[in-house]
Structure formats: C-alpha cells, structure tokens
Structure 1
C-alpha cells in the first residue's frame, strides 16, 4: 500500500495503471546490491550502463499512454523489462526492442519466469521501430530523442498515441505525448524528465 500511496502522491491516479503496477514486482527486475532498494521511488543501475526508471515515472508514462485492453503496443528500450511487464497487464500485445542483446535476454528470462506470455522481445535499432507489426495503437520510448523519430511516427495508427522524452541533452528533457490524427500529429508537453539518450545501432554488450 505504501508503494501505491507513493505513486498516487506523484500524480499516478489511473486505477488500471495502479493495479498493473501492484501486480508487477519491481524487485524481480533489479539485481544484486540494488535489489533491497527496488521499492524506492528512484532510478537504479542495470546492465549495459542503463537504468531502470523510477516507479512514479513508469506510472506517469503508462498513464499518459492510455493503453486499452485490445491495444498492440511497441516499446523502444526494453532495459530491465519492468516497463514492458507493466504494459503487458494493460494491453493485448507488447513488442519491446532494445539495442543490447544482453538486456533483451535477461528481460525475456524474467517474463518467462513470471509466466508473462503477451510480450515479444527482440534486439534491434529501436529508432526504426518494428515495421513488420505496424501500425501500433501505442508506442513508448524509454530513451530520449532530439525529436520524435519519423519511422516511429509512421508506424503509429491514426488515433494512436506515442509517449517519449525529447531533449538535446541529458539535463533538459521534456516528456511529450504525440497523437496521430487524420491530418497530422498533435503534440502535448507533459513534464520535465531525465532519461538516457536514444542511440542508433546495436550495442556492444
């Protein structure tokens, strides 16, 4: 309950999102010396120089995405797998991509252990999205781009929503929501954030 109270105090109020986050044990996605801090509202280091986002940011991003039960979701930046696991509680299908094969392998092992069957993981350059399964109802980026990548915009269904951090440095970033309309794209600024940068290519584990 304390975990949920902390989320609510940071602005995560959507009942479905709170329920999803209650079902997903963050401790399963945090290893080693940091596991005892899994329930604190703070980012923590994971493999490959990446981080697992703080729960309140995961909650706010998920809430902004407005995922519905029939939706097909693309996540760019698997990382620990925690965000994808939360999305899996809300969507019909989640596709998650990361440039680090080690992270994808570790996340898939956790999904299998938790019997989460509606997530597809793969290693690729996430800035190009996943055209084989496009269009997507929702797209989420867990790394900061200078602008919304055009391949991802193109893979968003009309009426679909993409949530991502944008910014040209790791100190000044803004979480934005992009909604695709019949005639173009609408942009909403949500809040300041800090994420690792979105990098092109496949990472060296």
Structure 2
C-alpha cells in the first residue's frame, strides 16, 4: 500500500465517521476539501486523519480532527459571519473555517507558527483570512465585533475579555476544564432583562468532552508574559 493510498483511506474513514455522527454537510465538505498534507509535515503522513494530534515543531501540536469538527459544529458558523479564531496553529483549522464564513481574523501565540500559517494559507489560495501573532485572550478591540469566536486551546474559566467582542446574539465555542480533559462549552450573547453580574450576560451550555492543549495567557494555567499583538 502506497503512502497516498494510506492517506486517502484514513481520510475516507474519517469522513465516514463525520457522516455517522450526522455532521452538517458544510463541515463534512470542509474536511473533504482541505487536505491535512497541505498543513503538516509530510513525514507524519501515516498519522493524517487518525485522530492523533500532529506535532508542529517548537513543542506545539495540532488538534485531533474530531475534536475540531465538534467544536465547529457547536459554534454553528454561517456564510455571512465575521469570525475570530484563537489558536491558528499551522492554519489547518483556519482553512476549514474559511469556507464556512465570510471573513476570519485568527490569532496565534507562537510567532513562528503564525508565519507558517500565513505561508500555508497563501499556498492553499485562501484569501479571506487575516493572521495575527499575539495573546488572543487580550484582543485588540480596534478590530471590531464578531458574529462568532472559536478557541482551539483549553481554558480554565470563561473568557469574558473575549466575549465583549461578540455581537448581540453571537456565540463563542471553546474547551473548558483541566489541562488533561475539557468539555466543549458554548456561550451565546443573549442577556436577560435583569443582570446581576457580567457572567449572566450569556447563555452557557456544555457538550462533548475533548482534549486541547492549554491556552497561554490569563485563562490558562501557565504564568507567562503577555505577547505583543501584531499582524
């Protein structure tokens, strides 16, 4: 069996899993149209679409594709959306999202990964994305409001600084829990009539368990210096 045959087999098996879980057609089409081999080291081909997190170098890893798919499904992106993504990685998740929304602003903590993502997205001819490097949990409010936010990194508490960037009725999807396991969490900007505290501004729901690497910054576990924010 050749390497390409192995990749195609794994890819078809993964798409079958998505269909079995009744994912929306748009998400299935996104995973069918965006190839992992465009965004990850070719030496890792045997692991493509197997569910294993793929190493990106510099101690960083890509996320398991099924966890990514479930996060995207819970977000429910729409074609007219302006979306904020935190955790660009190699650009693979960004590419998946690019066909589901109108515009993406994506933020990656690691400067080298942000540069790699820009190169990968350009190579994939994706042009509705702006890539920034910095602490995505300390977002530049000058970039405006969003219809949705998705965070591909584990948080220990609700990211209230980011929820302020949501339009009325918009939603944010993120993994929340401990460093070893989290639960997909969705907050919707639907403030009730009587407000007692800032956290009550949002309707919150909890979904599938997942595993993502910890976020850096104020909502993570590591005490790290805040990175500058630049495009």
Aligned to 1:34: 44
Q: TM-score, normalised by structure 1?
A: 0.92
Aligned to 1:102: 112
- Following superposition, the deviation at residue 192 of structure 1 comes to 1.2
- Following superposition, the deviation at residue 32 of structure 1 comes to 4.4
Contact kept? 2:90, 2:120, Cα under 8 Å:
no
- Following superposition, the deviation at residue 133 of structure 1 comes to 2.0
Contact kept? 2:82, 2:103, Cα under 8 Å:
yes
Aligned to 1:91: 101
Of 126, 131, 146 in structure 2, the residue corresponding to residue 121 of structure 1 is: 131
Aligned to 1:178: 187
Contact kept? 1:67, 1:90, Cα under 8 Å:
yes
In 2: Cα distance, 1:42 partner to 1:7 partner: 16
Aligned to 2:220: none
- Following superposition, the deviation at residue 39 of structure 1 comes to 2.5
Aligned to 2:227: 202
Count matched residues. 201
In 2: Cα distance, 1:39 partner to 1:165 partner: 21
The list of structure 1 runs, each at least 4 consecutive aligned residues, that deviate by more than 3 angstroms after superposition, is none
Cα gap change, 1:73 to 1:130, in 2 (>3 Å): farther
Aligned to 2:4: none
- Following superposition, the deviation at residue 36 of structure 1 comes to 3.0
In 1: Cα distance, 2:189 partner to 2:22 partner: 24
Aligned to 2:209: 192
Contact kept? 1:76, 1:126, Cα under 8 Å:
yes
Contact kept? 1:12, 1:63, Cα under 8 Å:
no
Range 124-133 or range 96-105, more displaced: 124-133
- The answer to whether residue 17 in structure 2 is matched with residue 3 in structure 1 is no
* Structure 2 segments unaligned to the other structure (5+ residues): 1-11, 193-200, 218-225
In 2: Cα distance, 1:78 partner to 1:48 partner: 14
Q: What SS class does the counterpart of residue 199 from structure 1 fall into?
A: coil
Cα gap change, 1:132 to 1:35, in 2 (>3 Å): farther
In 1: Cα distance, 2:139 partner to 2:86 partner: 7
Contact kept? 1:77, 1:98, Cα under 8 Å:
yes
- Following superposition, the deviation at residue 146 of structure 1 comes to 1.2
- The answer to whether residue 36 in structure 2 is matched with residue 19 in structure 1 is no
Q: What SS class does the counterpart of residue 46 from structure 1 fall into?
A: strand
Higher Rg: 2
